Amino acid sequence: MARVILHGFSTFKLGGPQARFVQLANALGPDYHHVVAAMDNCFEAGERLGPHVSWERLPLPNRRGGGLANRSTLRDVLLARKPDVLFSYNWGAMEWAAANLPKLVPQVHVEDGFGPEEAQSQLPRRVLMRRALLGWRPLPVVVASRNLQRIALDVWKLRARYVRFIPNGVVLHDVPPSATASPDPSAPLVVGTVAGLRPEKNIARLLRAFAALRARQAARLVIVGDGALRAELQQLATQLGVAADVEFAGYLAAPGTRLAQFDLFALSSDTEQLPIAMLEAMAAGVPVVATRVGDVPHILPESARAGLSEPDDASFCAALLGAVDARAEWPRWVEAGLSQVRQHYSEQVMVAQWRKLFDGRLDLVFDAPHLGVSSVQRH
């Protein structure tokens, strides 16, 4: 009988944690039945789940009001469904941790990063809530970056034995020899990104930097992703005079096909932890220019760090223009990036760790022997 896993998201629109869940569910197949709950009852990321994945949507009568307004509703869900393991994702689903107190089912909380309101610093009220709901029991917590691990230990004051860093991983493909060849300096340059059109991704910063590049040479910008800021960003492209050279490709279920067409991948975010899209670009043999946020400086190999910038417009623009001027170095950036991904960020390693969590073998991931296989009885 397939193990039943309940996943509590703030939204099931495609983003970092949703993309990783889709990746894991597709890789692990029908051994598990996934019940997906989203506080906004949006489930569009499910379009990327394969037909071999057993899953269902769980709509919720979400009440507005902040704090723990939905605790009793979510606790009723846990009592009725009795999943083998509950996973809650990020601050937007923290109410699941409150609903599971006192403990009804084994739970793992997952932290992938922050929205724009916490891009620069932690909000004190949220820090206190995380300390209480994650640290008092304590609750096993998986973090997606070394930076988040530091925050969990030093700011949230969680116990080290209950916090584990599991890096995101990507599928490794054979990269064509052209990826490591010297680029043709006379050809129009294709700069691209894959990102939700949300404030923290700061695509406006990328558009402004691209306008400076376009003023110097022929180039195109491809933006893969969708979101609430699309119309605003399209208007900005028009104001900057580059709309004819900017493609808003929208949401793509398989963005890898477009990634392979990029000459340069650009990440312009104000906040990130361990960005999957950047790892996928590196695995596809695409050089990277990126802001110095989260684990990004540690992911990029030393030989490619000329593409790093501070998360401000002037620095990012300078880094983009400088990277283009350094085209001759791109083959070296690509080879070092491929080596980094193969050694540290492969999907195979990530899936093996998450399988243990899905199986309830928390004792094999966390330094806590009493965390073992779930013994929840479903009726």
Per residue in 148-172, pLDDT (tens digit) is: 999 999 999 999 999 999 999 988 8
Q: What is the pLDDT of residue 367?
A: 80
> How far is 164 from 166, CA to CA, in rounded Å?
6
In the chain, where are the structural domains located? Answer: 3-169+346-364, 177-344
* Angle (CA) 294 15 108, round 5°: 75
> What pLDDT is recorded for position 65?
57
Q: What percent of the chain has pLDDT over 70?
A: 94
pLDDT score of 377 = 44
Strand 3-9 relative to strand 32-38: parallel, antiparallel, unpaired? Answer: parallel
Please give the backbone phi and psi of residue 13, each rounded to the nearest 5 degrees, phi first: -70, 155
User: Do 86 and 106 touch, CB atoms closer than 8 A?
Assistant: yes
3-169+346-364 homologous superfamily = Glycogen Phosphorylase B; (3.40.50.2000)
Return the biggest CA–CA distance within the chain.
68
Superfamily of domain 177-344, CATH level 4: Glycogen Phosphorylase B; (3.40.50.2000)
> Phi, psi at residue 143, to the nearest 5°?
-120, 150
For the chain, give the mean pLDDT.
90
- 48-74 pLDDT per residue, tens: 999 999 999 999 987 665 557 789 999
Q: What pTM did the predictor assign?
A: 0.79
> Please, which pLDDT band fits residue 119 given cuts at 50, 70 and 90?
low
pLDDT tens by residue, 317-342: 999 999 999 999 999 999 999 999 99
Residue type, position 44, single letter: E
State how beta strands 219-224 and 141-143 pair.
unpaired
Give phi and psi for 105, each to the nearest 5.
-140, 160
